[in-house]
Structures are given as structure tokens and as C-alpha cells.
A and B are shown apart, each in its own frame.
Chain A
Amino acid sequence: MSVAAAADRPGTAATAARFSPQWIAGRLSGVVLHLAVIGLTVAWMVPTIGILFTSFRPFTAINSSGWWLALSPPFQFTLDNYSKVLSTSNLGHSFFNSFMISIPATIIPVAIAAFAAYAFAWMKFPFRDWIFLAIVGVLAIPLQLSFVPVLSFFVAHGITPSALPPGLQYLPVWLAHTGYGLPFSIYLLANFFRALPSELFESAEIDGAGTLTVFFRIVLPLSVPALASLVIFQFLWIWNDLLVALIYVGGQPEVAPLTVTLANLTNSYGQGYHLLTAAAFFSMFVPLIVFLSLQRYFVRGILAGSVKG
């Protein structure tokens, strides 16, 4: 899309005579477009950049001047904030907890959703469309509504961090995130699966493949872009989630994820937000790495060559 648009622009500029009104208009609209994009990007980035600089500045400098002054001499940069935050709070352990929560809570719902979406997209069973509609309808219910009933269910059945054996203590958040993530995941994947050409399924069926074989050998390999984007969404949402974690495992430092620990940091350190900036940056690494490493799977045209000539 963007390639085509970019290719169009010099083309239109070239067809109009140099310095003619059309030529100027073409040039101007290009400039305006670029300015708008760059402006938006910068505006979006400023707070992040501010936090980045602040996290490397000593406490005294932060209190006496704005972060942008860090760019002018005298340069005062330090790693103190990072070392302090890593040693004084149990950030390292929260980091581990975040992984222990995010990875299973991403894999479980995506895996379940893939099976469910395949059934919704390509298998015939009674009330299929109504059930699908109900699942999509659940998306409209705010998740806060479910906290009390779900939590009391968990407590009544011993699914709480204190009641579960070590290692399984994350179970409440896994279950919660699975429940909250499923409707959207099913919706997204079912729509993607439905768009796969039906001849592929028919051909595989004639070739002797059963339902599961079709799912694993045809559907999943062709759905890598959809699965990758879903994994990114789900992972980022869980990694950055504070509310669900706070409700289901909050207050238990041994299972609390990064977000909960960060939130506590503000309380216990008061205005000492120089530590908070370092901690926040520390927590941003993982989403960045996940996004950058998976984004190459957003390849379009993966279906090219399957049908038609």
C-alpha cells in the first residue's frame, strides 16, 4: 500500500511540468504529508524520550532542571537509578514473574482460540453462528464486571496464590487472562480462517487428510501472520496489564508482576520518580523485543500462488 502511494507521487510530479501549479501542489502535498507524519511521531515520542533522559540523570539534576537541559553541557549522566532500582526493590523477581504470567497467558488462549476458530470457520455443528455471535457479544462486556464473581469463585475453589503450590501460583492470572483474551482471539482467527480458500480444504480432504491434519498441516502454517499479530497483542496487553494482575495475585510480592511492583514503587518512594523512570524503561525492553522480533511475520501475500494464475 505505502509502496504504491510512494511510487505514485513522483510519477504525478513528473507528468506535470516543472513549477506548474500542479507540480507545486504535488510537491506541497508530499511535504505536508511528511511533516504531519513526522510531527505526530515526535509528539508521540516526546514523553518516552523524556523518561529515557530522566532515567539516566542524577536525582539532584532532575529536581533542578527539565530533562531537555540534559542535552546541553554540563553533561550529567549516571546509571545510579538503574542500579538502585534493581537492588533496592525486588524488580528482578517481578521481571521473572511477568514472564511466568505473560508467556502461558499468551500461549493458552491463542492455542484454545485457534482450535475454536477453526471449528467456527470450517466445521458444521448446530447453532454454530449463534454461539459465535454470543462469544463476540461478550467482547462488549467490561471486564471489571467479572472481577467479583470470578474472584469469589477462585477463592471458594482454592484457586488463589496462597492456596496453590509453588509454581502453580500464577494459575489465577493465567485463567483470568485466558478468559479475557479468548473472545477477541476467536473472533480474529475465525475471520482469518474463513478467508482461506475452501478448495484448499477440499483438496486436502480428497488427498486423505483428516480434520486435525488439515488444521495442523494447512491452516496453522497459512495463518502465521494472524497468529503472530494475535500473540503480539495478547502478550503486550498482559505484560502491561496492572488491573487484572492486581486483582488476582496483587499484594503477593512473590507472584506480583512488574506492573504491580512499579505501581508500588510510586507509593513507597513518594516523589522519587527518578527510580520510577528507570524501572519503567526496564519494563519496556521486553515488549519492544517481542514486537520487533515478531513484526516480520506480518507478511502479506503469504497466500500468493495457492489459487488462480
Chain B
Amino acid sequence: MASVTYDHVTKKFSGETTAVNDLSLQVHDGEFMILVGPSGCGKSTALRMLAGLEDVTDGDIKIGDRVVNEVPARERDIAMVFQSYALYPHMSVYDNMAFGLKMRGTPRSEIEGKVKDAAGILGLEKLLQRKPRQLSGGQRQRVALGRAIVRDPQVFLLDEPLSNLDAALRVETRINLQKLHQRLGSTFIYVTHDQVEAMTMGDRIAVMKEGVLQQVAPPRELYDHPVNMYVAGFIGSPRMNFIPVTLDGKTAKASGFSVEFSSAPGIEKGVLGIRPEDFDEQPREGGPRIDMKVEVVEVLGSDQFVYGKVGGDDVIARVDPQFKVTPGDTMKLGLNMRRLHLFDAETEKALN
């Protein structure tokens, strides 16, 4: 177990492409850290540099107190679960899991014990003699995990380990992974493009975009206090409504309504960020009232999403599923003023 530190790490590929740009990130000992972002944002490259599969162009990567830039992958004492699982096709499940220990010269009896233990945790006892091609996708995924567990590494690296599983299995595995993390207490670094995985599993989430780290925070804080429009839009489903406003002192004027802030934000052009659930189908006395022309209604049982127009802007609101509304209606919405986000239209940064 160990902490991991990225200290101003940059990765450039053959000349011009910058995959990771000046990344500084501290992962605490025993933490479940999620790197999240769309494909091509540099999250996998960051992970692969830590694993020793890519060279670092600039900056330092530390595992514990040791700078590992020049340490070969096999001496870093990390384990990695690949998106494709990368099981050795010609070896049995047992041999796949034992391979790393054999390479380190662990005595045979000890290997057997460790593999049996890991197989027990993952429910693979009956599959130990099978070859990977005789396993289902979920079983292969567990073997890949088992291969990492038996090594008892300082850091677990997981590169989109759930993306090849079907939806139901993904939910189940997500929960099992969290249990596993609690049980092992090791440092996990987990790369994903899926915000649900990020929100549900991470102790903290690092959001990346085009090689640049945007924000690192626990899920709740990331959701409630995104530092910029990118993070605000990336986390949350359906995504946050962005409504351009012009500001005049404390008043923000949108195309269909205006709101009053308690203090002047000090900018002229801004973007109002409103999460769908922060609309209220029963406007409170004295609060802002918004007229929304309803276009589409989606009832999901636990939720009801209303799509429509407020002035010239498209808006999504989440309302009580019991609330009766049909397309064509004009709906009166209130606003939860305390949960309003305001961004500078130019810098896209959040203002408080």
C-alpha cells in the first residue's frame, strides 16, 4: 500500500501531441481515486505512465516516496487490470493468476494458498482449471482482477475494467469492486469515461479534459461545486442546463426570465447553470417564476423529465412523477436559488 503522486507530469507523443499536460495529483494511501473524462482526455495515458508502460516526458511520478520515472514496470509493485483483460490464452485460470507470483520466485505452496484465497474472494474456485476461452465475459473480468489481487501490490490500476460487460453485470461488478476495495484497503486508481461509475465508486474523482486536470474532489463536492462549465456538464445526468444571461448589478437576465443575486457577481456576460432537479414544479412565494413551454415529457417511474423551452433556451427539468403535465402546456417552475451556478461566459469558470 502506498500513496501515488503526479508532480507536474507531462506526456508528449512523438513531437506535437500532448496527451497529458502538467498533471499534478496526489492519491492518498488506500484511496479509491477515479480518473474520468471522455476518450482521448489523457486519463489512460496517465495510468499507463504510472504503470511504467509509457515514458514520462516531463515531471515526476512517485509511488510512496520513490520516484519511479526510470523504474521498469516489473519493479514498480503495481498490478493492472486491462480493459481487454489481457489474460494469457494458453494458460489455465490458475496459471494466469499464479504467473506474477511465479515470476517473483514465490514458493509453490505459498502461490497455491494465495491463488486459492483470491479465487475464493472472486468465486472462481470451480473454474481454476479452465482456459480463458471457456469463460464468460464476467468470469474473465474476475480472473483479471484475481491476477491483480494475488500479487498484493502497492497500487491497483484499473483501466475501464467494466466497459466490456453488459449493463446488469456492470452494476453487480461495480458493487463487488467497492467491497473488494474496502476489504483490501489498498490504493485503487480507476480510469473510466462513465460518470456513473465515477460518482458511485470513487472516494475522490479527478476530471480530465484534453490532457488537463480540471478538478479533483469527492463526488458530492464535484456535483455541488463544479469549478467550471466542463465539469458541471460532464457530471450529472441529464446534464446541467446552461442558460446564457446578461448581468446588470445583482440582476441576471435570461431570454425568458431573470433572477436576482444577493450580491453583484461583477461580470457582464455569464452562463447560468441549473441542474434539472433544482427546478420546482410548485414555485414558492416570492421566488422567481419561470414559464416553460413543454415539448416532451418522459416518465421513468421514479423520475419525470420535462423537456421544453424557456424563452429561447432549451431546458430540462426533473419534476415529481405524480405531477400531471402534457406537451404543449405552459408550466410554471420555481427555482432553488441556493443551488444555482453562475459561470463567467468567457472563462467558463464558476463564480461564487
Residues of A within 8 A of B (CB): 197, 199-200, 202-210, 213, 217-218, 221-222, 301-309
Contacts and interface: CB of A to CB of B under 8 A. Distances in A.
A202 B86 CA distance: 9
Contacts of B151: 207
A212 B133 CA distance: 26
B89 A222 contact: yes
B78 interface: yes
B74 A205 contact: yes
Contact of A206 (B80, B89, B134, B165): B80
B99 A305 contact: no
Contacts of A301: 133
Interface stretch (B13-21, B135-143, B292-300): B135-143
B84 A308 contact: yes
Interface in B150-174: 151, 164-165
Contact of B86 (A203, A209, A309): A203
Contact of A306 (B78, B79, B86, B99): B86
A129 to B, nearest CB: 14
Which of A222, A301, A304, A306: most chain B CB closer than 10 A?
A306
B133 A203 contact: no
Which of B134, B135, B140: most chain A CB closer than 10 A?
B140
B130 to A, nearest CB: 9
A190 B90 CA distance: 20
A218 B165 CA distance: 26
Given A308-B84, A309-B136, A205 B165 contact: no
5 A-B pairs closest in CB distance = A305-B133, A309-B137, A199-B86, A208-B103, A306-B89
B147 interface: yes
17 contacts: A202-B53, A202-B82, A203-B88, A205-B73, A206-B74, A206-B78, A207-B103, A207-B151, A209-B103, A210-B74, A221-B90, A305-B131, A306-B133, A307-B84, A308-B164, A309-B141, A309-B164
B132 interface: yes
Contacts of A308: 84-85, 164
B86 A305 contact: no
B80 A203 contact: yes
B82 A203 contact: yes
B70 to A, nearest CB: 15
Given A200-B88, A205-B73, A213-B103, A305 B82 contact: no
Nearest to A220: B90
Nearest to A304: B133
Contacts of A197: 84, 86
Contacts of A303: 89
B84 A206 contact: no
B100 interface: yes
Nearest to B90: A221
B85 A307 contact: yes
B111 interface: no
Interface residues of B, number: 36
A302 B90 CA distance: 8
Interface in B95-145: 99-100, 103-104, 131-138, 140-141
A303 B76 CA distance: 29
Given A200-B86, A205-B53, A206-B76, 18 more contacts: A199-B85, A200-B88, A202-B51, A206-B53, A206-B74, A206-B80, A207-B147, A208-B103, A209-B99, A218-B88, A301-B133, A304-B133, A306-B89, A307-B84, A308-B164, A309-B136, A309-B140, A309-B165
Which of A203, A208, A210, A222: most chain B CB closer than 10 A?
A203
Nearest to B169: A309
Nearest to A208: B103
Interface in B39-96: 51-53, 72-74, 76, 78-80, 82, 84-90
A309 B78 CA distance: 25
A143 B287 CA distance: 92
Contact of A305 (B53, B74, B104, B140): B140
Contacts of B131: 305
B74 A207 contact: yes
A203 B84 CA distance: 11
Nearest to B151: A207
A24 to B, nearest CB: 42
Contact of B87 (A206, A208, A305): A305
B87 A306 contact: yes
Nearest to B100: A207
Contact of A222 (B74, B85, B90): B90
Given A307-B85, A309-B164, A206 B79 contact: yes
A301 B73 CA distance: 30
Given A305-B133, A305-B135, A308-B164, A206 B73 contact: yes
B106 to A, nearest CB: 10
A54 to B, nearest CB: 47
B84 A305 contact: no
A302 B132 CA distance: 11
Nearest to B105: A208
Given A205-B74, A222-B90, A199 B82 contact: yes
Contacts of B76: 206
Contacts of A210: 74
Contacts of A205: 52-53, 72-74
